[in-house]
Amino acid sequence: MANGQKTSAWDGAVIYQIYPRSYQDSTGNGVGDLPGIRSRLSYVRDLGVDAIWLSPFFRSPMKDFGYDVSDFCDVDPMFGTMQDFDNLLSDADKIGLKIIIDQVYSHSSDQHAWFKESSSSRRNEKADWYVWADANEDGSPPNNWQSIFGGPSWTWSAARGQYYLNNFLPSQPDLNMRNPVVQEQLLGVAKFWLDRGVKGFRLDALHCGIHDPNLTDNPARPFNEDDRPRPYDRQWHLYDHSQPEMLDFLERYRNLCDQYGDIFTVAEVGSDHALDVMQQYTAAGRLRTAYSFDFLWQKTLSADLVRDTVTPWLNRGEGDGHPALAFSNHDSVRAASRWDIPVSVEHRAKLFGALLYALPGNIFVYQGEELGLPHADVPFEKLQDPEAIAYWPNSLGRDGARTPVPWTADDAHAGFSTSEPWLPIDARHPALAADQQVGREESTLSFFRLLTDLRRDLDALRTGSASFTNYDANVLTLERTGGDQKIVALFNLSNDAQSVGSVDGKALLTVGDVASVGDQWTLAPWSCRWVQAD
């Protein structure tokens, strides 16, 4: 293996992300739910993926749509019951699908019982379960830290006469993960879900979990007003995020997970020095993998971007983790729209899919990516996401990535619900509905099924070593090698035709036009070919 870890069923696995609010509504209230996901398991199975990552379904006031948790160990009635979750887990297991769930440890909802007690006074059993600090002499917040969602990272509590830290919304107070009792509680949350049978965790905003105890001001960061509209982006986040004490917690976390067998763990890391943090989190077996926003927030795709993102992960030491790679998720503009190249949306979806599946490590496919959905156009009056509303019109557009999956083109609301969905369905999406693509050989869905089959069946693609064999600005040549297999994947990531040396062997797939002239191939703009070399 490229990363030197022990063999695991998770090596090279393809994981399908489901955003429960928008997958399938079983009750007709316009919001997706756990029984709805359960009814679509055969679709996910046929896609061929190894596991499902469920975004939050826990009890929550839904100020941040489930990432503000008021009970870490219960299902929000919006999504069903704990029995519904157990049924989903059982049915998935029967058809060979593992379930991974989100865990939000850096913060809770302000409606959580822990915070209600902690905020009631300075002297109670949970007084230091959250991050509290006194005001400056002039009454201002303790330092200059800025919230990701806008404004200072500090909110005043009249009951305590102190500020509390909130890296996101004021209704999302930060837990004090330096407190060993809090760590025990969070380990208990993980144990609760492991005991129910989940097979892994995606650790949300893990870099936000532990702060500098001295509350040192962050230094200023140069910014471009067009690219960085948020005050948050005007600082280097050296002290509010990514403190080294997190590593001790992760070792305890790994020890717990190891008691349950081969458990998958992936960290979300959005820090300024994401690569360093991810590699620390995955070193020495702490976590299996981690991902950042290297691809998710990039406005352009290039060969250099791919090489620069992946190369630091190659040839890591024994026991060190590997990357998790994604081009789309619930927090970013869908790649089929974000990377605005001069080909059709269907062509883009297939090209980006072929690139993602060729890369080493774990890969994440976001619901609708396999259908080639473009980013939805959600008018301001229909927006739900607090980040989108706060930064309109210069937001990340998270609502546009969260609109419902279209299942049937001719049904009301594209088969997602019998009533108006919580977010509108884009007018372009019904034509790309699953029922329009199943059984059609040239469809984007069929192409993604082919990609998943190839990655499952070819050891070189799933677990083999990876290397880039050229450093051309326009052409990316990636070799994957495992056992007696060698896969060469060539991508022309430019607006001009490119000539490359031909590769002898079996062509596995092609996107766009690739012409043969002697011992040369001419790759049309934004095209690719995978070859199983002789």
Residues marked active site are found at 204, 268
φ, ψ for residue 11, nearest 5 deg: -60, 120
Number of residues that this document lists for the chain: 534
Cβ–Cβ under 8 Å, residues 165 and 211: yes
Provide CB contacts within 8 A for 360, sequence distance 6+. 2, 12, 310, 313, 314, 322, 323, 464, 465, 466, 480
| Tokens encoding 252 | 């305890």
Cβ–Cβ under 8 Å, residues 423 and 402: yes
Cβ–Cβ under 8 Å, residues 522 and 490: no
User: C-alpha angle with apex 80: 74 to 85, nearest 5 degrees?
Assistant: 65
Q: Could you give the CA distance from residue 147 to residue 145 in angstroms, rounded to a whole number?
A: 7
Separation in Å, CA 322 to CA 57, 76, 244, 287, 326: 28, 33, 20, 9, 13
Q: Residue 323 in 3-state DSSP? A: strand
Cα 347 to the center of its chain, rounded Å: 23
Cα 251 to the center of its chain, rounded Å: 22
Torsion sign over Cα 207, 208, 209, 215: positive
Short-list 232, 274, 218, CA closest to 396 = 232
Cβ–Cβ under 8 Å, residues 271 and 281: no
Q: Could you give the CA distance from residue 483 to residue 481 in angstroms, rounded to a whole number?
A: 7
| Separation of first and last alpha carbons in the chain | 21
Q: Residue 462 in 3-state DSSP? A: helix
Cβ–Cβ under 8 Å, residues 210 and 178: yes
Torsion sign over Cα 117, 122, 123, 128: positive
Q: What is the DSSP string of 14-64?
A: EEEEE-GGGT--SSSSSS--HHHHHHTHHHHHHHT-SEEEEPP-EE---TT
Strand pairing class (264-268; 289-291) = parallel
